[in-house]
Amino acid sequence: MQQGRVTLIGVPLDLGAGRRGVDMGPSAFRVADIDEKLRALGYDVKDTGDLDVQIQETRKAGDPRLKYLKEIRETCEALRDSVVEALRGERMPVVLGGDHSLAMGTIAGLARFHRERKQKVGLIWFDAHADSNTADTSPTGNIHGMPLAVALGLGAPELVGLGGDGPMVDGSRAAAVGLRDVDVAERANVKATGLGAFTMRDIDERGMRAVMEEAIQRASNGTAGIHVSFDLDAMDPDYAPGVGTPCPGGLSFREAHLAMEMLADTGKVISAELVEANPILDQNNSTARLGVELLCSLLGKKIL
């Protein structure tokens, strides 16, 4: 991956979520001057605009256990192909969401590109939720609660197969950080995938530095690099009020920036996505602005 070349891909998807509004997330990140801030860090930035995404008013949900499955799969296929195109052009894909179900498309693209080179990908997933439900365990049928399970090989075959044969990412090379709201039925799924799951209690007891050291070790073990998937609800709602599923007791401002700075120090980040910013619920676009600042830390911004 040639350093310094970023492709922004907007995905105004809200079909996987239970509340409307995250489809405006890509615009919110752009209003927060994402392109200018990355250019100030020395990056060559190419914004490819937004993918075409169906809206709920024109579609039917279909299977209540897997709502809008067809439409979400089509969006993830398009995103997968866009990610592969960016990687083949030696550019780092940065995906702007949109709800977290789009991560299946991002990671499928990474998996496809690196499988062609007989390489594996590491994953660090920041989220209040485990996103490890399946149609059999989900209490809502909302697919944004399923993408991490899918990426690790568990769930609807139509989604698991987006990246080709086998899991997109090995559970032993994946970590979730900031968990604090996990459905009882999905706990078995987390264990079955082999995911490294770090809850807020782990962060409280061990500190963010120790947690990130272990997460980075998992995600960099025998991989071509690390994909960082950041759901803004990983943050405490005091810092990120504009999310659809806020959960008290999340990451602090400095804990999140430390995590991003440590990842930047590795030199192994190959892609990233920011998801679940909901401008309807936000205060003066503060959540999107925080997401952009975290991305800047991830891509090398330093205090000194």
| Residue of 50, 99, 131, 255 marked active site | 131
| Residue of 71, 186, 255, 276 marked active site | 276
Give the DSSP letter string of the chain. --TTEEEEEEE---TTSSSS-GGGHHHHHHHTTHHHHHHHTT-EEEEEEE-----GGGS---STTSTTHHHHHHHHHHHHHHHHHHHHTT-EEEEEES-GGGHHHHHHHHHHHHHTTT---EEEEE-SB-----TTT-SS--GGGSHHHHHTT-S-HHHHGGGSSS-SS-GGGEEEEEE-B--GGGHHHHHHHT-EEEEHHHHHHH-HHHHHHHHHHHHHTT-S-EEEEEEGGGB-TTT---BSS--SS-B-HHHHHHHHHHHHHHT-EEEEEEE-B-GGG-STTHHHHHHHHHHHHHTT----
| Residue of 50, 231, 236, 261 marked active site | 231
131 is a catalytic site residue = yes
| Residue of 14, 127, 282, 293 marked active site | 127
| Residue of 71, 99, 233, 293 marked active site | 233
127 is a catalytic site residue = yes
276 is a catalytic site residue = yes
144 is a catalytic site residue = yes
129 is a catalytic site residue = yes
99 is a catalytic site residue = no
| Residue of 14, 71, 100, 170 marked active site | 100
| Residue of 50, 71, 114, 144 marked active site | 144
Positions annotated as catalytic residues are: 100, 127, 129, 131, 144, 231, 233, 276
